Chains A and B, each alone.
Chain A
Amino acid sequence: MSIELINIWYVVAAALFVFGLKQLGSPATAVRGNMLSSLGMLIAVAATLFNSEIVSFQWIVIAALIGGLVGAVVAQKIAMTSMPEMVALFNGSGGIASLLVGWAALYSGDTSTFTDITILVSVVIGGITFSGSILAWGKLSEVMNSAAIVFGAQRFVNAMILIALIGCGVMFCQDPSVDSPYLYGVIVLSLVFGVMAVLPIGGADMPVVISLLNSYSGLAACAAGFAINNNILIVAGSMVGAAGIILTNIMCKAMNRSLGNVLFSGFGAVKQASKVEGEVKPINTEDAFLILEAAQSVSFVPGYGMAVAQAQHVVRELGEMLEANGAEVTYAIHPVAGRMPGHMNVLLAEANVPYDQLVEMEDINPRIDNVDVAVVIGANDVVNPAARNDENSPIYGMPIINVDQARTVFVLKRSMASGFSGVDNPLFFGENTRMLFGDAKDSISSVVAEFKT
């Protein structure tokens, strides 16, 4: 196939990516959208294989088989609760692939300075994406401590790494060659920088990191496209880059923080919240059952704790029983609940909750005072009224689900320890709040058992 014909197929592939992404925007068409986008990928790959530069297929077949097999097995086996760390790993593998493509492009003999710079950019972004994603995976899968790690000279160290990185890049462009020591310098420094960039971000800020790394993996592919002069890489890569930036922006807005604030300061390191004191009113499962049985309208507010307790299935069971009992049941989901954008929606969909019962924060808040019982399951910051009332709170200004304005609030909580970000929550001492202590899954199971008797 001539290069022109291949490029025409690339245009077809790009169009399929565009339609695919467009249809991913609505639950009714999303499955088809994903199919279209994968068809686009198939066309792009198939057309490339007809490129006359490719003379040997041996390594391609072996590598593609190994990679495809690993990807397929992992994608089928992974539990839905482990989705955030898996998305991080896939991001990382895309990043390292772009790094390698940029590196290999050095051997092609095109030595204009523009090409050298784009090769460096793809190596740097690819490297940052790779090591950053691996660290994010470590934090999300709790292989390591998931909290933000901040140390005094952090900014200074990061600035030094950045300066060294730019220095190595400039030196490399003076005398570009495949065995230039500065090339290795750039690779190592970008890997180190990726780790340093994710270290100070932790816990509840992880959705921002995941969507940002997603954006980087697209930008890395885009830069690799410039390095090898390939349109489809530029088009697809930059669309993904833009999509990732939008998601990042949505996540930041949902926490009322700027991107810079999330990236550079560890959470809660700035201010000390006013101490909240009061008496909590515990409730047992029998009383909880009686209140729920009488309720006309129930709203579940899940958070990361629901994922940890694997409680989504019993929650759905309880929801169905309440519906059968005549109550209106909704699931109110905060944009940053969980560890990645849309985390709770996926878990509840897995448990067969129909997506028209999943409501967003803006939809539930105006009618929250008509909700008889709001059941908070493993969520803390996203329902913390201090975000509205307490100017000293580190989360002040963050939009929250106003469960404290519902008629009754049940908070399912393991014990009285403070939440992930270490912020005290006045909700627990509220007049209409009842605490249901214990494992969320066990608590809900016993309420369900009460319904059955």
Chain B
Amino acid sequence: MEAVLLGLVLMLSIFLGFELISKVPATLHTPLMSGANAISGITIVGALISAGAEINEYATLLGALAVMFAAVNVVGGYLVTNRMLSMFKKKENDQPGARK
């Protein structure tokens, strides 16, 4: 039953992902990709549990390595997305009375 429920969650999330992304303008494809990539670093949640659960030293080592790589993915991914997005500016955006 558990597997069926997880499968349902999987299916709904895939549809949600399709709906969310399908209308993004080409201008934002790169930030979208790196932003989505940062979200895929969610695997850090699993890594944290392996690294901290003290099952044995191999599991801890694997978990700690996973935490490290996932942290690169998460922190780097969000920061670089933010850096890119802050460069996208509308024309005469910061001037008073700018035409929209």
Which residues of A does B touch, CB under 8 Å?
A: 17-18, 20-22, 24-28, 30-31, 33-35, 37-38, 41, 44-45, 48-49, 51, 53-57, 59-60, 62-64, 66-68, 70-72, 74-76, 78, 80, 83, 86-87, 90-91, 93-94, 96-98, 100-101, 103-105, 107-109, 114, 178, 210-211, 214, 217-218, 220-222, 224-247, 250, 333, 335, 340-343, 345-346, 349-350, 352, 354-358, 360
Please give 7 more A-B residue pairs, beta carbons under 8 A apart, in addition to A221-B40, A235-B9: A87-B34, A93-B70, A108-B59, A227-B46, A240-B39, A243-B20, A247-B29
Q: How far is the CA of A108 from the CA of B60 in the complex (A)?
A: 11
| Nearest-Cβ distance from residue A348 to partner chain B, whole angstroms | 9
B52 adjacent to A55 (CB under 8 Å): yes
The 0/1 profile, CB within 8 Å of A marked 1, for residues 41-69 of chain B is 11111111111111110111011111111
A257 to B78: give the CA distance in the assembly, Å: 32
B40 touching A234 by the CB < 8 A rule? Answer: no
* B57 → chain A closest CB, angstroms: 10
B: residues with CB less than 8 A from A are 2-3, 6, 9-10, 13-18, 20-56, 58-60, 62-93
Q: B42 to chain A: which residues have CB within 8 Å?
A: 41, 44, 221, 232-233, 236-237
Q: Are B73 and A90 in contact (CB under 8 A)?
A: yes
Given contacts A107-B59, A233-B45, A240-B39, contact A345 B30 (CB under 8 A): yes
In the complex, A228 Cα to B46 Cα: how many Å? 7
- Residue of A24, A90, A178 near B24 (CB, 8 A) is A24
B87 CB to nearest chain A CB (Å) = 4
Write the chain A residue with the least CB distance to B27: A345
* Distance, CA A335 to CA B33, complexed state (A): 14
A60 CA / B67 CA spacing, docked (Å): 7
Partner of A237, one of B40, B69, B92: B40
Q: When chains A and B are docked, how far (Å) is the Cα of A372 from the Cα of B19?
A: 39
Given A97-B44, A101-B46, A243-B21; A345-B26 close (CB under 8 Å): yes
Nearest CB of chain A from residue B45's CB, rounded to whole Å:
5
Please determine whether B56 and A239 come into contact, CB atoms closer than 8 angstroms: no
The CA of A76 and the CA of B27, in the complex, are separated in Å by 22
A243 touches B49 (CB 8 A): no
When distances are taken between beta carbons in the complex, the residues of chain B under 8 Å from A80 are: 84, 87
Distance in Å: Cβ of A433 to nearest Cβ of chain B = 26
Q: Are A90 and B14 neighbours in the complex by a CB distance under 8 Å?
A: no
**When the two chains form their complex, are residues A71 and B73 in contact, meaning their CB atoms are under 8 A apart?**
yes
Would you call A20 and B68 a contact (CB within 8 A)? Answer: no
Structural contact, A30 and B85, CB atoms closer than 8 A:
yes
Task: Select B35's contact among A24, A340, A345, beta carbons within 8 Å.
Answer: A24
A340 to B31, CA, bound (A): 11
Chain A residue nearest in CB terms to B41: A94
The answer, among A38, A55, A66, A217, for a CB contact under 8 Å with B40, is: A217
Judging by beta carbons under 8 Å apart, are B72 and A41 in contact? Answer: no
**CB pair A94 B37 closer than 8 Å:** yes
A55 to B53, CA, bound (A): 6
Return B23 CB to nearest CB of chain A, in Å: 6
Task: Show 10 residue pairs from A and B whose CB-CB distance is below 8 angstroms, ordered by the A residue.
Answer: A24-B32, A30-B88, A55-B52, A60-B67, A64-B68, A67-B71, A72-B79, A108-B59, A214-B37, A239-B20
Contact B47 A100 (CB under 8 A): yes
Closest residue of chain A to B18, judged by CB? A242
Whether A233 contacts B66 in the complex (CB less than 8 A), given A53-B49, A55-B53, A68-B71, comes out as no
Residues of B within 8 A of A33 (CB): 35
